Amino acid sequence: MLKSIKEKFVGLVAAVALIASVASLYACADHSPISADGAVILDVRTPEEFATGHVEGAININYRAGDFEKRVAELDRDTRYVVYCRSGNRSGKSIQIMEKVGFKNLQNAGGVQDAGKRLGLPIVK
């Protein structure tokens, strides 16, 4: 009986983890237009990724760099930021860090291609 309860618990935990993963992917799958007016477009990919193509006008602060939190903390907290990466994962994590240090007006644009389309801006090198 105890084994059965443990098996059910493990199954339940796995199901919850799967649902959370799907939900986070769905949240990043928003394809609605985003206004770039007055926003800073923030690319949180590596400099190497940025060099292969980025949304026109974007600034690059590498999420994987050891000084990421310090660098974003130096930005103006009253500005609106549209954040993107390769897939939407790092941008979501970046937004969490930015919220932790006091940013309020943040939007995850997902991956670079989606960000360009949603913002109506070209991808440039």
Q: Of residues 39, 85, 106, 115, which has the active-site annotation?
A: 85
- Catalytic annotation on 28? no
Residue that has been written with the tokens 């989606």 in this structure: 114
Per-residue burial over 69-89, b = 16 or more CB atoms within 10 Å of its CB, e = otherwise = eeebeebeeeebbbbbbbbbb
Active-site annotation, residues: 85
